[in-house]
Amino acid sequence: MRTLRKGAPLLALMTAMTMALPVSAQDAGKISEDPLELTIHFHFRDKYVYSEKWPVEQKAAEITNIHVRNVASLATTSSRDAFNLLIASGDLPDIVGGDANGGLKEDFIRYGLEGAFIPLDDLIEENAPNLKAFFDSHKDIRNAISGPDGKLYFIPYVPDGKYSRGWFIRQDWLDKLGLKQPETPEEVYEVLKAFRDKDPNGNGKKDEVPYFAREEIDAVRLINLWDARVSGSERYGDFAVYDGQLRHPWAEENYKTGISNVAKWYKEGLIDKEIFTRGARSREYLLGNNLGGMTHDWFASTSTYNDALSPKIEGFALKPMLPPKTASGQRFEDSRRLRVQPVGWAISATNEHPVETIKYFDFWFSQQGRLLSNFGVEGKTYEMVDGKPQFKKEVLENKDPVNAQLWAVGAQVPRGYWMDYEYERQWTNKIALEGIDLYDKCNCLKDEFMGVSLNADEKATFDRYWPSLLTYMTEMQQTWVLGAQDVDTGWDAYKKRLTALGYDEVIKIMQSAYDRQYKAAQ
Amino acid sequence: MKQTYQQRLHDLWGDVRRDWQLYLLLAPMAIWFALFLYKPMYGLVIAFQDFSIFRGIEKSPWVGFANFVELFQNDMFVRAFWNTITISGLGLIFAFPVPIILALMFNEVQNEVGRRWAQTIVYLPHFISVVIVAGIVINFLSPSIGIVNLFLKGIGLEPIYFLTQPEWFRPVFIGSSVWKESGFESIVYLAAIAGVSPTLYESARVDGASRWQMMWRITLPCILPTIVIMLIIRIGNLVEVGFEYIILLYRPSTYESADVVSTFIYRTGLQGTQYDLATAAGLFNAVIAFVLVYSANRISRRVSSTSLW
């Protein structure tokens, strides 16, 4: 704060100067007359650190005259450990950023409140036109990442694009059996039964696995057919927003109907018997061996199986399909891409150049900065065609995936930046794009629960009750699906147990935090 | 009192001067203990704090026993604690005798080559990483392609989805642990058997004792001290169930019988970064373990006059 006050007159002067200059606020230009070095601790994806040698960073330094020097050690193979060790050492560099297992949002806010990082609101207001414009037009994102005191402690990585996962079905199996894409729960039931009984893979054995899923979040996704939700966000078992009221989807009445039907289908062999144990490779195994019929998974990666498997399996066609209508006649897609990632970067309290630093952060949200952080360096990875960035042919046709090539030059790394979906669209499989288009027309996404920041009292309540509640609910979910207990007889006891474990208390504090964070600001 | 204290110190100093070479040999171990086991104990105080890694131990506020109260009010912790005791207790009953039996059996094998082979085969699993063992177990017990269920289907039984049923978790866990470790653990007993004086067997043979009698009357009593020491150590580890193997094998549907203290600490403490709560749970475990070892040692000293100290 001391540095801030000292810099205030200078700051006013600078603002005046920028206003006087005919240069648009979009392109920041030089931030400091003399080269200024800022230290940064930035460890990400468990194996990378920020590098001043990245072509993208060199370009940024050339434009801004800010040179960031990484102090994070490559010797650590866990970004979480690297971050925790840094915090425990108490000796923070000018900028702290990166990602870590579980995200860094809560860490930035928690240690920000304890005095490790400075609040950024005033700095943004006075020095960062691009960030200000961004947050002004994305109020929900600002709300989602503020602390319980309503202040911002970090600049996040903001993903673009709405869709993450969708429904996929073996279109060639449907055609072979003379069926059409299922539109209602009853039709889904008939289709899955046909997959089970009518030997669509034609090997004479009853070895088809009608519905399968790779991740636990998709294992019970079929409850959607009875209007129940698996999660309010991309995080498994998250709270959901129902008309401004925060509740947990697994305590709703429609969840009872959903899970008891899923249990019935599981018992009848319509859902993979090993759905909870097969794990991450199930998609590869079940599709590769011509066994799996229907799933719910990521658009981009699931579509690529069409290319990979069509030479091996004749007629292989795994097509995206719209979510079937629910029992109540609606159509909705449960999952969606996170609107803001809980990662990014923050300014330490010991930083002597907070103004320059926020301007540097701001640079990445400018037109120039967004191009750099999304597409790399012009002429090297992309070219401007009709005023739009277009990846070069050799990038698109390289044997390494486009994102890996971009990471290598310092683009698409989890600094505080704003992703441009165009970057991903240019190398996304055609079938995935068709699917995304389909979903876009349907416009059937639900509101995302973007998380809340709890104050100390709320956090104490949350920590006391929530881990046990989540454990119990997950446990019962699997117990029911596997048929160890009947949902109809167990439901009342389940609800009672939730109350005993403190469900109402948790909802109360979550709701008050939610209201504070999202409603007051509107 | 003071006199004796000074006297003792004086005696000790005399000892050190006389046998300094021996003390020098002891030093690395003593330093290692002090540095890596005693010094970190200071960190246990965070069990009594509302700890934040940024504030550190000096600046985090003290909260007394609040973390412990929170633990015991949590029925998931209580359940995890009883699961730990049950799994270890069953392990003690079923897994502890296996290496002893193995060692006795190896001792009776006359054919040298056969014995070497058998020993190598039972030692081998010890050197396989738990991750791989868990993979093998999951594959073996898979309801569709697992060899166990293929066998069950073959003899006309319903396949069992072992890894999702709470009642099957303990047998699977203990059974596979026995397969993995008992061979290697038998080495201790084999060494003890090798130390039994051959004259005892010779005189028994002269008296016409059968091999069965020799085993019961000579081998077992002679290795009893080793067995008792191993038992005391094992009891000390009663509240300790390694979390890697459990985490690899358990699912939410088997938490009911599989969730142990260490996995509880992992889930709520480390994943949720509640280091203070995790430390409190660990400290509680250590206290129980200490009480158990101490009483086992006392009982053993009284009953069999063998003890750890």
How many structural domains are present in chain A?
1
Residue B119, min C-alpha distance to chain A (Å): 34
SS3 state of residue A339: coil
Distance of alpha carbon A421 from alpha carbon B117, whole angstroms: 62
Query: Rounded to the nearest 5°, which phi and psi values hold at B234?
Result: -65, -40
Q: Which amino acid is at A42?
A: F
Reading across the β-sheet that carries A165-170, which strands appear in turn? A209-211, A292-298, A165-170, A318-321
pLDDT digits (tens, 9 = 90+) for A146-157: 999 999 999 999
Six-digit token pair at A350? 């010991």
- By mean pLDDT, which of A44-58, A269-283, A349-363 is the weakest? A269-283
Position B90, amino acid: L
Nearest chain B CA: its distance from A353 CA (Å):
22
Among B173, B172, B229, B193, residue whose Cα is nearest residue B119: B193
Q: Superfamily for B49-304?
A: MetI-like (1.10.3720.10)
Name the residue among B113, B117, B161 with its Cα closest to residue B141: B161
A10 band by pLDDT with thresholds 50, 70 and 90: very low
Provide the ipTM.
Answer: 0.73
Is A482's Cβ below 8 Å from some Cβ in B? yes
Of B128, B92, B122, the residue nearest B183 (C-alpha): B122
Model confidence, pTM: 0.81
Average pLDDT over residues A415-439: 93
Nearest 5°: phi and psi at A48?
A: -115, 155
Q: Does A274 touch chain B (CB under 8 A)?
A: yes
Residue A60 forms part of a structural domain: yes
What mean pLDDT comes out for the span A311-323?
A: 94
Q: What's residue A150's pLDDT?
A: 92
B142/A484 touch (CB, cutoff 8 Å), yes or no: no
- The residue type of B19 is D
**Cβ-Cβ contacts under 8 Å for A435 (sequence gap 6 or more):** A163, A166, A168, A299, A303, A319, A320
Report the candidate in A399, A356, A451 with the shortest Cα–Cα distance to residue A103: A451
Q: Are the CB atoms for A115 and A149 separated by under 8 Å?
A: no
Token representation of residue B196: 């039994």
What value does the mean pLDDT take over residues A72-86? 90
The 3-state DSSP class for residue A406 equals: helix
Would residue A516 count as lying in a domain?
no
Q: Flag whether pLDDT at A9 surpasses 50.
A: no
| Any A CB within 8 A of B278 CB | no
Instruction: For residue A287, give how far its alpha carbon lies from the nearest alpha carbon of chain B (Å).
Output: 16
Give the mean model confidence (pLDDT) for residues A334-356: 95
Total beta-carbon pairs less than 8 A apart between chain A and chain B: 75
Residues of A in contact with B55 (CB under 8 A): 114
Q: Are A297 and A214 in contact (CB under 8 A)?
A: yes
Q: Is A500 helix (H, G, I), strand (E, B) or coil?
A: helix
Percent of chain A with pLDDT over 90: 79
Residue A13: the pLDDT is 45
Confidence band, pLDDT 50/70/90 cuts, at residue B96: very high
CA distance A97 to A49: 10
Q: What is the 3-state secondary structure (H, E, C) of chain B?
A: CHHHHHHHHHHHHHHHHHCHHHHHHHHHHHHHHHHHHHHHHHHHHHHHECCCCCCHHHHCCECCCHHHHHHHHCHHHHHHHHHHHHHHHHHHHHCCHHHHHHHHHHHHCCCHHHHHHHHHHHHHHHHCCHHHHHHHHHHHCCCCCCHHHHHHHHCCCCCCCHHHCHHHHHHHHHHHHHHHHHHHHHHHHHHHHHCCCHHHHHHHHHCCCCHHHHHHHHHHHHHHHHHHHHHHHHHHCCCCCCHHHHHHHCCHHHHHHHCCHHHHHHHHHHCCCCHHHHHHHHHHHHHHHHHHHHHHHHHHHHHHCCCCC
* A116, A277, A474 ranked by CB distance to B164: nearest: A277
Which of A276, A281, A465, A480 to substitute to test the interface with B, most B CBs within 10 Å? A276
Spatial separation of the C-alpha atoms in residues B248 and B130, rounded to whole Å: 8
Nearest CA in chain A to B76: A468
Which positions in chain A touch B256 (Cβ < 8 Å)?
Answer: 475
* Structure tokens given for B101: 């039996």
Residue A482: list chain B partners with CB under 8 A: 161, 164-165, 253
Query: Which residues in chain B touch residue A467, judged by CB atoms under 8 angstroms apart?
Result: 74, 76, 267-268, 272
In chain B, residues 44-63 whose CB comes closer than 8 Å to chain A: 52-56
Q: How many CA atoms lie within 13 A of B45 on its CB side?
A: 12
Partner-chain contact A471 B56, CB within 8 Å: no
User: Taking a contact as any Cβ pair under 8 Å apart, which residues of chain B between 24 and 43 contact chain A?
Assistant: none
pLDDT at A8 > cutoff 50: no
- The CA–CA distances, whole Å, from B171 to A169, B165, B259 equal 39, 11, 15
A116 and B272 within 8 Å at the Cβ level: the answer is: no
Query: What one-character DSSP code corresponds to residue A418?
Result: B
Structure tokens at A354: 């907070």
What confidence tens digit (pLDDT) does each residue in A262-290 have? 999 999 999 999 898 888 889 999 999 99
DSSP label of A517 = I
Position with higher pLDDT, A198 vs B164: A198
pLDDT digits (tens, 9 = 90+) for A237-257: 999 999 989 999 999 999 999
Token duo for residue A294: 């229907």
How far apart are the C-alpha atoms of B194 and A450, rounded to whole Å? 67
The three-state secondary structure class of A41 is strand
- Note the pLDDT tens digit of each residue in B260-278: 988 888 877 776 678 888 8
Tokens representing residue B10 in the block:
């004086």
Short-list A457, A491, A500, A516, CA closest to A246: A516
- A104 lies in a domain? yes
- Asked if residue A186 is part of any domain, the answer here is no
Q: Is B271 on the interface with A (CB under 8 A)?
A: yes
Cβ <8 Å between B255 and A88: no
**Element (DSSP H or E) covering residue A341:** none
Percent of the residues in chain B that have a pLDDT greater than 70, as a whole number: 98
| Chain A interface test: which of B53, B149, B161 (most A C-beta within 10 Å) | B53
Mean pLDDT of chain A: 91
Q: How confident is the model at residue B11 (pLDDT cuts 50, 70, 90)?
A: confident
For residue A46, pLDDT over 50 is answered with yes
Q: What local confidence, expressed as pLDDT, does residue B2 receive?
A: 58
By the CB < 8 Å criterion, does A475 face chain B? yes
For residue B259, list chain A residues with Cβ-Cβ distance below 8 A: 471
Neighbours of B235 (CB within 10 A): 21
> Could you read off the pLDDT of B174-197 as tens digits, one per residue?
999 999 999 999 999 999 999 999
* Angle CA A466–A162–A258, to nearest 5: 50
Confidence of residue A20 (pLDDT cuts 50, 70, 90): very low
pLDDT per residue as tens digits for the range B278-302: 899 989 988 988 898 888 888 888 8
Q: Is A464 in Cβ contact with B73 (below 8 Å)?
A: yes
Nearest-neighbour CA in chain B from A335: distance (Å): 22
The pLDDT value recorded for residue A520 is 64
State how far the Cα of B107 lies from the Cα of B96, in Å rounded to an integer.
18
According to the model, what pLDDT value does residue B264 have?
A: 86
Q: What b/e readout covers A38-48, taking b as 16+ CB neighbours within 10 angstroms?
A: bbbbbbbeeeb
Interval A98-128: pLDDT, tens: 999 889 999 999 999 999 999 999 999 999 9
**Contact (CB<8Å) B76/A274:** no
Mutation pick from A470, A479, A480 vs chain B, by most beta carbons of B within 10 Å, is A479
Q: Does B74 touch chain A (CB under 8 A)?
A: yes
Residue B76 has pLDDT above 70, yes or no: yes
Containing structural domain, residue A98: 2-161+341-419
Classify residue A265 by its DSSP letter.
H
In a domain, A103, yes or no: yes
Residue whose structure tokens are 């097509």 = A319
Inter-chain contact A484–B253, Cβ cutoff 8 Å? yes
Mean pLDDT of A397-408: 91
Give the nearest partner residue to A116 out of B54, B76, B166, using CB atoms: B54
- Which among A254, A256, A260, A214 has a CA at the least distance from the CA of A236? A214
Which of A277, A286, A464 should one mutate to test binding to chain B, selecting the residue with the greatest count of B CBs within 10 A?
A277
- Res A522: pLDDT: 47
Q: State residue A469's pLDDT score.
A: 92
Q: Three-class SS of residue A97?
A: strand
Tokens in use for B309?
């100290």
What pLDDT is recorded for position B7? 86
In CATH, what number is assigned to the domain containing residue A415? 3.40.190.10
Higher-confidence position of A55 and B107 = A55
Q: How far is CA A122 from CA A86, A346, B211, in A?
A: 26, 14, 89
Residue A466 near residue A498 (C-beta atoms within 8 A): no
pLDDT band at B3 (very low <50, low <70, confident <90, very high): low
Q: How far is A114 from chain B (nearest CA, A)?
A: 8
In B, which residues are within 8 Å of A110 by CB distance? 52, 54
Which residue among A464, A474, A501 sits closest to B70, beta carbon to beta carbon?
A464
Looking at residue B277, its amino acid is L
Mean pLDDT (chain B, rounded): 88
Please give the span between the terminal C-alpha atoms of chain A, in angstroms, as a whole number: 29
Neighbours of B214 (CB within 10 A): 16
Domain presence at residue A301: no
Task: Look at B252 and A468 and tell me if their CB atoms are within 8 Å.
Answer: no
pLDDT at residue number A2? 41
Amino acid letter for position B1: M
Residues 6+ apart with CB under 8 A from A474: A237, B252, B255
Q: Locate the chain A residue with the closest alpha carbon to B77.
A: A468
Strand-strand pairing, A36-44 and A66-70: parallel
A236 by DSSP, 3-state: which?
A: coil
What are A322's two structure tokens? 């719209």
Kindly state whether residue A332 falls inside one of the protein's structural domains: no
Interface test with A, best of B49, B52, B54 (most A CBs within 10 A): B54
Instruction: Say yes or no to pLDDT of A340 above 90.
Output: yes
Is A358 within 8 Å of A19 (Cβ atoms)? no
Residues of A in contact with B52 (CB under 8 A): 110-111, 114
